[in-house]
Structures are given as C-alpha cells and as structure tokens.
Chain A
Amino acid sequence: AKMFTQVYGDNGKMKEYHYTGPVEHRFSPYSFNGGTVLAVAGEDFAIVASDTRLSEGYSIHSRDSPKCYKLTNTTVIGCSGFHGDCLTLTKIIDARLKMYKHSNNKSMTSGAIAAMLSTILYGRRFFPYYVYNIIGGLDEEGKGAVYSFDPVGSYQRDTYKAGGSASAMLQPLLDNQIGFKNMEGVQHLPLNQEKAVQLVKDVFISAAERDVYTGDALRICIVTKEGIKEETVPLRKD
C-alpha cells in the first residue's frame, strides 16, 4: 500500500508534520524539460515560435535547444514537455512523412499531418508521449492553420495557441490581443505579419519574466508560400 504525506489539511492550513512511514518512490520514465511553444495563423502566413531553454528540475541543460521542428516546406511543429519523447516523436513523424511521400508522390498537407499525429499519439494511450504539440503551417488553400494537441491525441484547428510551461500565462494574452476577447468597442483588425511577429516577441519576453522554465532565446519560424524563415531573438538568461 502506498502512503503519502499531505502537507495541507482540509481547512487550508499547513498540517503538523509527523512521520507516517516510509514513502515509496517509483522510477518515473517521464521528466519535465520545460519550454514554451506558440503558434499563430494569419491570412497567408503562420508563425511557430518557441524558447530555446532545456531545463530539468533546478538545472539548465542547454540554452540552445529550440523546440520548433521543420516537417515540410509548409509545416512546422512545436513540441514541448519531455525532451526524450519530443525527439522520438519528431523522428517518427519524419519517417511517416517520408513513407507517405514515397507511396503517394506528394507531401503531406498540414491537415493530414495533424490527423496522423492524433492517431500516433493515441496509439500510446496507456503510456503516452509526454509532449504538448502545436502544428503551424499553411493549408491547401494557402491560408494559415494552427492545430493544437493534447498529449493523447485530441486536437483541433485554432487561430492561435500557446503550449508548454508558460501556456496558461500566454493564452489569455493572445485571447485578448489576437481574438479581441473581453474587450468592448474595439475594431477587429486582421493580423498582418509584422504585427504578429512583434506580438510574439513581446509575449515571450513577458513569459520569460514570470516563468522560470522559459528564457534564454526565442526562435521564430515564419511559414509563408515562399518558404520558412527563421529568426532568433535573445531573452532573459536568468
């Protein structure tokens, strides 16, 4: 039987600490490596951005480990969570893309990649990939598309989404600035590329201030019909 100590009692006050017995720690195959990913879809572009810090517990493993991975000329995926699963998952996606290309003689579209990723993730329903994925790219008509996932494969198409450790801080800000939510008497202007890039930079600077797992540098991938452009912006390193 497992026993665990509860630090806070039912009335909200801290409990008196007393020894209840040995606590069994099981080996956990997961670990949390931090990082935040963001994607925004525009009229004819999509932006996928991530910070580049790789951390574990109180340490930083690397300051230059971006979480955006290029899949095709029109699709970029951002993966944050457990880095081991991120690497394996992107390898599996690359292999499946290659197989599709060889069988069907065309690249996978963003929507198809999203549907495929959903089944890959659900295939491990009982030992999931601990990865929060966001796919950003252009759909068949050339419009920006963002697909956000949960770790077991539930997904849907959005206009913007933040995932990873600072997602709860960034998502309300995006709701307000891109979705014009909770504002009254404001003109709904469509988002152009320069404004979107500037917004992403501002939003990550804010995230780096308040989330310990986000920082070091920001990698932005801008997907347009001309191709994928990458930009790196420094963030707080503390």
Chain B
Amino acid sequence: MALQDVSGFQDTPIHTSLSSLSTSSSPPTRRPFPLSHGTTTLAFVFQGGVIAAADTRASCSGLVACPSAQKILPIHSHLLVTTSGSGADCMLWERILAREIRLYQLRHGRRLSITGSAKLLSHMLHPFKGTDVCVAATLCGWDVEELFYVCSDGTRLQGELFSVGSGSPYAYGVLDGEVRWSLNEEEAISLAREAVYRATHRDAYSGNCVDLFHITAQGYCRRDREDLREEYHRKRERKDAGSHATSLVLTLGVGKRRSVEREKIQRGGVKWHGVE
C-alpha cells in the first residue's frame, strides 16, 4: 500500500504458506523487485442500483507501471469485483473466483449469491493469511442490495458503501457527505466520479482515468473511461471564470454510457464473460 512504501515499513511473513504454492520451509527469499500497489476504488448502493468506480493507475513503488489498468473486473453480468492491493494477486484470485462461481452454477443449476461468493473468496484466501498475498476486493452485484468487502487478512464485511485503497480516505470524505439512498442515477454517477477525482488529486498512487460501472437488475453497464486531466482543466476554467456554483459542483460526465448486450440479458439468464 502507499502508506507502507512511504513509511518504509518492511512486512515479514509470519509463516510460509502450506498450500501447493509454497516451496521451501526456510525463511522466504526477499524479492528484489516491487509489486504493484496503490489505488482508489469505491462502491455504493442507492435506489437505482449499485455504482462501482475506480481509478486506472497501477503503480510500482514510485513508477507508474500502467496508466490504463482495469481494476473493476466483471465476473458475470450481475457481479463485479473491484480489485485493490497487489495487481497480480487480484487478477489471478478473481480469475479463480470466476471459475469457482461458474463451476457452482454448472453443478447446482443456480447462480451463487453474492453472500456466497464473498464467503467463497474469503475461505479461498484464508490459507494465505500471513503471507504477502494482498487482495482487497469489493463484490458488487444485484441479487442483494449490499456490497461485500473481502480482504486477504480475513475480513469479510457487508455494507452499503465501501472505498478501498490508498486513496480511500479522500474518497470517503466526499462520499460520506453526499451518499443517500434517494440519489438519482445521474447524481450517483457524478458523485462517484467526483470522489475518485478528489482521491486521485491528493493520493500520489492513484490517478490517470476513472472507470465507472452501474449495476441494475438488467445487468451492469459501463461508462467510457474518462481521463481525469480533462476534469482538472474543466474545474480550473470554472474557478477562473468565477463560478456561482453550489457547494459541491456535480459535473455531469461527458462519457457515453454503453450497455453490455442488454437484450441478451433480458432474454433470461446470466451473461458470462470469457475469463481472460
């Protein structure tokens, strides 16, 4: 995490992993390279569904390894997972989660609920507690109007608003003031964008663009990725022009909304995505 890098904290694993991934029983070898960390992701529930937003910067102790990473991964049309922590861990564990959920559906003939998926992920990560696997995921979906936060240290929480990552304190500041159940869709989307924007402005390890997903009963739909540099310029112009705006200017996003095969979803069943 960003704070860890800045304060020079060296984490040492308490014990080596006992699973098939472990090798020797001597003290683990120290890695000579850094792994990617640092992010801002958030998700909240409102009357029109669930909004999930994240920045797109993948940083690697001071270097931006990728300015266009994707931190919100769809598992199926009604379940998204936001990733935070180490990039490789999140990518692989969510691939494993998607596989397990798909197998559950094939074996039992019904979709695993979000509560069940969260428990599954939490139990799969448990053998790696104490190692440096770092996964902090928020499962957002539709069957219950709640979010689940699952972390590799064993936390599994349900709630209606979560923000995860090094930029999360800044995002919480924006969200806690404005999130209400009665928001309409445009307001909710603007609020999510604003929260990510503020977090990327203050947190060095978050930045570049913002990804936004909106989940409803019909499935998820994804807004085009927006570069936050444009947002910064727009705000500067408005401030210079001496705006008479109200306390929190919720700018309506310029990005277009693009629904993901809505017709296919409405015909019944869940749309699965190839696990890339």
Contact = CB atoms under 8 A, between A and B. Distances in A.
Contacts of B63: 168
Contacts of B88: 118, 121-122, 125, 150, 152-154
B21 A126 contact: yes
Interface string A153-170: 111101000000000100
A152 B35 contact: yes
Given A125-B133, A128-B31, A154 B91 contact: yes
A111 B274 CA distance: 12
Interface in A78-105: 81
Nearest to A157: B276
Contacts of B16: 126
Contacts of A59: none
Contact of A126 (B69, B131, B276): B131
B22 to A, nearest CB: 6
A192 interface: no
A150 B60 contact: yes
Contact of B91 (A29, A32, A153): A153
A41 to B, nearest CB: 14
B24 interface: yes
A119 interface: yes
Contacts of B131: 126
B35 A150 contact: yes
A168 B65 CA distance: 9
What's the dominant secondary structure at chain A's contact region?
Answer: loop
Contact of A127 (B24, B35, B87, B133): B24
Contacts of B21: 123-126
B85 to A, nearest CB: 11
A29 B276 CA distance: 32
* Size range of the chain A interface in the assembly: 20 to 34
A224 to B, nearest CB: 25
Interface string A135-153: 0000000000000101111
Contact of B33 (A28, A124, A125, A151): A151
A158 B69 CA distance: 10
B87 A150 contact: yes
A213 interface: no
B211 to A, nearest CB: 13
Chain B interface residue bracket vs A = 20 to 34
A238 to B, nearest CB: 26
A127 B23 contact: yes
A45 interface: no
B91 A130 contact: no
The residue in A29, A122, A127, A154 that gathers the most chain B C-beta atoms within 10 A of its C-beta is A154
Contacts of A29: 29
A92 B58 CA distance: 28
B276 A28 contact: no
B87 A154 contact: yes
B22 A126 contact: yes
Nearest to A131: B33
**Interface hub of A124, A126, A153 (most chain B Cβ within 10 A):** A126
A180 interface: no
B66 interface: yes
A127 B29 CA distance: 7
Query: Which of B16, B22, B32 has the largest count of A CB atoms less than 10 A from its CB?
Result: B32
B16 to A, nearest CB: 7
B92 interface: yes
Nearest to A148: B66
A115 interface: yes
B228 to A, nearest CB: 14
A154 B17 CA distance: 20
Contacts of A148: 66
Contacts of B36: 150, 154
Nearest to A149: B88
A85 to B, nearest CB: 11
6 contacts: A127-B24, A128-B31, A152-B35, A156-B66, A156-B70, A168-B63
Given A150-B35, A153-B88, 8 more contacts: A28-B30, A29-B29, A30-B29, A118-B91, A126-B23, A126-B131, A152-B88, A168-B63
